[in-house]
Amino acid sequence: MARGETTPTSVRRPLGTRFAAGLYALSLRAYPAAFRRDVGAQMIETFRDRWHGAGRRGALSPWAVLLGGILDSLNNGLGERLHPGRGNRLPSDSPRSPRRRFIMGSIFDDLKRAARRLQRAPIFTASVVLTIGVGVGAFVSIYSTIDNVLWEDMPYEDPDRLAYLWRNYTWADFPRGWAGGIDVLAIRENVDSIEGVTALRNGSVNLSSRDGGEPQEIRVTLTSANFFDLLGVPPAMGRGFRAGEDIEGANLVVVLGRDLWQQRYGADPEIIGRAIYMDGEAAEVIGVLGEDFHFTMHASLSAPANADAYVNMRWNLAEVEGGSFAALARVREGVSAEALQAELDAVIEPIDREYFDSLGLRVWPAFMREDLVKDVRPALIAIGAAAAFMLLILCVNLATLLLGRATRRSSELAVSAALGASRWALLRDCMSESLLLTFSGSALGLLLARWGTTLIADVAVDLPRRYAIGIDASVAVAALVTATLLGIAAGIAPAWRAARTDMARALREAGGRATSSRAPGAMVVAQVAISLVLLVGAGVLARSFVYLMRSDPGFDPDGVLTVRLPVTPDLYPEAVDLMNLFVGIRDGIAALPGVEAVGGVNALPLTQETAQTSAAFPSSPLNSGVEQEDTLLVDWFTVIPGYFDAMGVAVLAGRDFRGADDAEAPRVAIIDDTLAERFFPGQDVVGQTMMFRGIPHQVVGIIDQPRLYDIHQDDRSQVFVPLAQEPGYGTSLAIRTRRDPVALVPEIQRLVHGIDPDQPLSDFRSMRQVVAESLNGERLSLGLIAGFAAGALLLATLGLYGVVSNAVSSRTREMGLRMALGADGARVRSMVVGQGMRLALIGSVVGIAGSLATARFLESLLVGVAPADPLTLVAACLGMALVTLIACYVPARRASSVDPLVALRRD
Amino acid sequence: MVPEPDHSDAERFIPLRPVEFHVLLSLCREDRHGYGIMLDTEERTDGAMKLQIGTLYRALQRMSKAGLIAGTDRRPSDDADDDERRNYYTATPLGRAVAEAEAARLDSLLRAARAGGLIGLPGK
């Protein structure tokens, strides 16, 4: 439990403190140097004390202290500069002259005045606060996620020294295979660079109703005894495995995961020492894991998986020479990658020689963190980049808004300056306004980020280490600092200008004549360019997604219901009984109204869950005679006949399995088209003999490959054999129906429990759902990036509209003059539109260049579309042009409808 | 050595600013560091007087220069989180005299206010 209390806050607070103290130290620059020299260090020390003191009162109070501290520094620092050696008098101290009050009024008065001013400009205020809010919210949510998923510490002791060891079958082009038991033993005994290694294997068992719960299938991880010691995370209750519990013949013991303990056993504190029944065998509960225990077992080919409970592995590792385990190792401190690899090579070489004829078996380490996030890394980086792009536009918009505000206020400020307001007073005046805006926006942003991170954690079900997602303190501070600096910068510029410009000119300009400036034009160009990059990115991702949705998965997912049917082996020790159970259930379901076909398979398409083995065709014309070259690693499946019909898998040649293909009949197999093409290109394979798991099988049919891994392609060929000839206990049923698949669920439950009341059924899912879930990651990336692109486009449009309409209104006189001289409305309109379009065109050219430059970052995320897809580029440019046209046309219409007389009279 | 203060010396500093008065009140009882003064003041006034760091240190600087307070190496023995890095302050005899004079001034004002019926019973 002690661990649970120490993790997130105490790890993060020092970082927050460092940031906050650094920021506060920065704010002390407001004081004169001599003052800082005398007491600066003490003030920082005192700030730390206050920060920590506030931390005890709640999570947000330290930030209030920081905010107050910075405002205090500005207030007192400026005061000390103006009047060294005098303090701020409290307002009640002595009455002040109006002028003194203007200069010396406390910053809180300034803030109050600023708030009143902003209230009078609600649209400006709302748009700035919203812009900052959305920006900070997006920034904090996205970067917190990236930070937590990619970098935040994993909840193990020294996680960067944990690595999985994989077999590389160099001759078979299979670099990531499970380790063998003999590898684990050899490494445990002979590799000095490794402190410990544990063998892991995932499986599923049925919990029987003898412990009082419903029959239930759970996922378990089988581990060596040193597993919890290796991670450095002991169970919260009870104990971990002891040495000697991981040998053949040991009693089954189990460490329950938190969720299982709470959900099935009602968080029973007395559970340690009790027996639960796993696949009919009694297992003593020896421990319960803590709330913060998170472990995901990485896999050779399939997706990483979590377990509900951990049980001791009772195998004699010395007897397992083939690849069967994930080997998790803790590398000794300070060992170089080369030294580790050299030692592994030396230890594996004898195994290679003895069992693999020195074909070149190797074992290599994959460090845990990189391994787990390597698949999502490109997507996260692309999303992060998209967010950064949108933020850039947002900053540009913000700058435009604030500069516009400053221009509008310039005459007011010039008057103040002329009446004797010092530069400091003007600065405080402007600064208080922009700081007020920034802080309100940031507060809104943090609120949005809270929702944002929760939303991401809910939606991104495929993201590893999802449990770690939450607002990250350092990211939040970074966002706040950026926002504050932006606010300060936006406040300084107008005040500076006001203090320097001569009043007469400022007042004249405020009358409405244009100052020629390239800044707004440049901002529009930047915005258009950035939005275009985002649009193109979102466009190609969308095309890729559509491609995936439309790609033929090799089966027909519509109208198919699937359910897992895990059978407890002890209840059906004989293969005949097992087959009778399956056939009974299948035929029962087939007789339900609306059901068209029923069958079963050990692993459904897109679930990545089957095993691999090797297949060879002795009669293939392509055989070279070298055994290793003529065998192929394939995914293999066991089938209850009817499956191909139910799943809508096309039988291209030969026949489907039938009931007569049983244990007594000759061995038969059905292979997919890729395997047929590999060994018998262009020839008929039906009737050929395949050596499969060392036994000759007759190929009776060829099917169109149903995808197991990705919807668009599988690298490995597939072999199907009848379950009756290769009995196994875990199977899933596929049911094709004319009715709503969900409506069948209760009928199927009734039917199965009528046959065996203790038989668990789990994972009722329609095949459509399975397909949709397999695209979760793609959908999330696409959704986020499209969202950013849409946001960017909107912001860019608003920016463009603002710039063009500003230009139009400042040239009203000129327009009037032109029209008075005979220009018609259309001409004026086209002039204004042309001006805006010119900016958009330059922006588009820059944007296209940017898209081409950034294309390669998206490459790994795309399927069936090139990153610099010309169609998408053209479409994005056209879309951009249309939007710019609208943004320019509205102010252009206004310009052309000006009454020349009014325009000319106006001043 | 600091000369023994006389009454007229203390009068020069009257009236004190509230911050300065509170700092002296805190330091008359024991030596404290900056944060200690802030906590003590807040506690003494039931949270009504919250000193800002800048305001406090400007006052400390001013009062050091005026000789009302001084930095000290002595550490109060009962300070649990005593720390080498911290600078402690102590009230000088002059500072004590000034604080007393200010208190006397405030007291006479307060009595006048009560006599005039402006405020009620003592204690509030």
Give SS3 for A212.
coil
Distance from CA of B5 to the nearest CA of A (A): 23
CB of B87 within 8 Å of a chain A CB? The answer is yes
Tell me the three state secondary structure of residue B78.
coil
Pairing of strands A162-169, A253-256: unpaired
**How far, in Å, CA of A43 to CA of A52, rounded?**
14
Query: Which pLDDT band holds residue B81 (cuts at 50, 70, 90)?
Result: low
Distance from CA of B62 to the nearest CA of A (A): 6
> Using only C-alpha atoms, what is the Rg of chain B?
16
Number of residues in chain A: 907
ipTM of the complex: 0.85
Please determine, for residue B69, whether its predicted confidence score (pLDDT) is greater than 70.
Answer: yes
- Give the model's pLDDT for residue A1: 35
| C-alpha distance from A543 to closest chain B C-alpha (Å) | 58
- Dist CA A817 CA A801 (whole Å): 23
Question: What pLDDT sits at residue A11?
Answer: 37
Q: Is A90 on the interface with B (CB under 8 A)?
A: yes
- Residue identified by tokens 């059901």 is A595
Contact yes or no for B55 and A76 at CB 8 A: yes
Nearest CA to B52 out of A599, A79, A291 is that of A79
| B 24-63: CB under 8 A from A | 33-35, 38-39, 52-62
* DSSP conformational letter for A453: H
The pLDDT value given to residue A121: 76
Give the tokens for residue A371. Answer: 């391994």
Residue A563 pairs in a beta bridge with A733
Flag if B35 and A89 touch (Cβ within 8 Å): no
Beta carbons within 8 Å of B71's beta carbon, 6+ residues apart: B64, B87, B88, B89, B90
Cβ contact A85–B61 (<8 Å): yes
Q: What are the structure tokens assigned to A487, written together?
A: 């606010």
User: Are A562 and A734 within 8 A, CB to CB?
Assistant: yes
pLDDT at site A465:
65
Whether A49 contacts chain B with CB within 8 A: yes
Residue pLDDT, tens place only, A506-563: 555 544 444 445 666 777 788 888 888 888 888 888 888 888 878 888 899 899 999 9
CA separation for the pair A498, B87 (Å, rounded) = 43
Whole-model pTM? 0.61
Contact A90 B86 (CB under 8 A): no
Q: What's the Cα-to-Cα distance from A160 to each of A366, A463, B74, rounded to whole Å?
A: 11, 20, 47
B15 upstream amide cis, omega within 30 of 0: yes
* Beta-carbon separation of B17 and A87 below 8 A: yes
Residue A716 carries which side chain, given as an amino acid letter?
Answer: R
In angstroms, rounded to a whole number, what is the distance separating the alpha carbons of residues A399 and A386? 20
Crossing angle, helix A423-459 and helix A122-146, to 10 degrees? 50
Interface contacts (A, B; CB < 8 Å): 74
Residues of B whose CB is below 8 A from A53: 35, 39
Neighbours of A360 (CB within 10 A): 12
Nearest Cα residue to A636 out of A724, A722, A721: A721
**Residues near B6 by beta carbon (within 8 Å), at least 6 away in sequence:** none
Adjacency order of strands within the sheet including B32-33: B32-33, B88-91, B69-72
Angle between helices A8-27 and A61-82 (to 10 degrees): 10
Query: Which ranges of chain A have pLDDT less than 70?
Result: 1-15, 58-60, 85-108, 150-153, 461-468, 490, 493-520, 903-907
The DSSP letter of residue A419 is: T
SS3 for A711-775, per residue? CCCCCCCEEEEECCCCCCCEEEEEEEECCCHHHHHHHHHHHHHHHCCCCCCEEEEEHHHHHHHHC
- Residue A39 has its nearest CB partner, among B39, B57, B86, at B57
Tell me, yes or no, if A84 comes closer than 8 A to chain B by beta carbon.
no
Are the beta carbons of A42 and B57 separated by less than 8 Å?
Answer: yes
Q: Considering only CB atoms, which chain A residues are within 8 Å of B52? A: 68-69, 72, 75-76
**CB-based contacts of A570: which residues, under 8 Å, 6+ apart?**
A279, A280, A281
